[in-house]
Structure 1
Amino acid sequence: MSQRITRINALLQREISEQMRRYYRADTAAVTISDVDCSADLRNARIYYSVLGDDAEIVATQKLFRKIGKDIRQRVSREITLKYFPTFYFIYDPSLERGAEINAILDQLDQDKNEG
């Protein structure tokens, strides 16, 4: 991945998070934009997000992004000038959940080792 795409990914991630915080704070308080992956031609961007909560929260967040995704894209495009502004595709990212589960397992193993 080129340096330019890497910088654009980081810029989009920061600006999407800022727009969510500014305009949709109540709805997106438990949502974190974990990564952005733009295509090389800057036509498409996969926006990966994680959600604190259960499966119902995840489903609610997916519906929310279907509802407000175009508005977020429009707001971000006003702040960032690119020749081609990418279409946003919001994708749930379970990696933070898996990381928390792995940490819990490791903590439990460490506790069992110290007790035994």
Structure 2
Amino acid sequence: MPKRKVRVDELLRREISTLLHTDYQSEGVYTTISEVDVSPDLRQAQVYYSVLGGEQREKEAQRFFRVKASEIRFKVGKRVVLKYLPFFTFVRDDSLKRGFGLIEKLDDLDEKP
């Protein structure tokens, strides 16, 4: 993987996370930006987020990102200087749930004789 792509991924992840926790404190308090995956041409970015709380908080976060995606992109563009600022697509990251499910299954196997 090219080093530039990795650096851009991490830079955008950090900036979006900072923006959520400074400008959108009430909405961003339960949200964590876990990963950003920028396309090779730097025109599109998948922003993966996870939400603490129940299903209601996940729906609120999904609605928030759908409404505020262009505003977040605009504000990140003011902070980050890139030739092309990618368009953000926010995707819920289920890796934590899958990880906990896998750990529970392994624990169940451990407990059985």
Q: TM-score, normalised by structure 2?
A: 0.90
Distance between the aligned counterparts of 1:19 and 1:50, measured in 2? 16
Q: How many residues align?
A: 113
- Compute the displacement of 1:109 (Å): 4.2
Matches within 5 A, 1:1-116: 1-110=1-110, 112=111
Distance between the aligned counterparts of 1:10 and 1:43, measured in 2? 16
Amino acid at match of 1:32: T
Percent identical across equivalent pairs?
42
Superposed CA RMSD? 1.4
- Compute the displacement of 1:103 (Å): 2.2
* Runs of 4 or more consecutive aligned structure 1 residues displaced over 4 Å after TM superposition: none
Distance between the aligned counterparts of 1:63 and 1:11, measured in 2? 24
**TM-superposition CA deviations, 1:79-116 (whole Å, max 9, x none):** 11001110000011111111122223334444x26xx6
Distance between the aligned counterparts of 1:22 and 1:69, measured in 2? 16
**TM-superposition CA deviations, 1:31-52 (whole Å, max 9, x none):** 1111101111111111011111
Q: TM-score, normalised by structure 1?
A: 0.88
Distance between the aligned counterparts of 2:15 and 2:34, measured in 1? 13
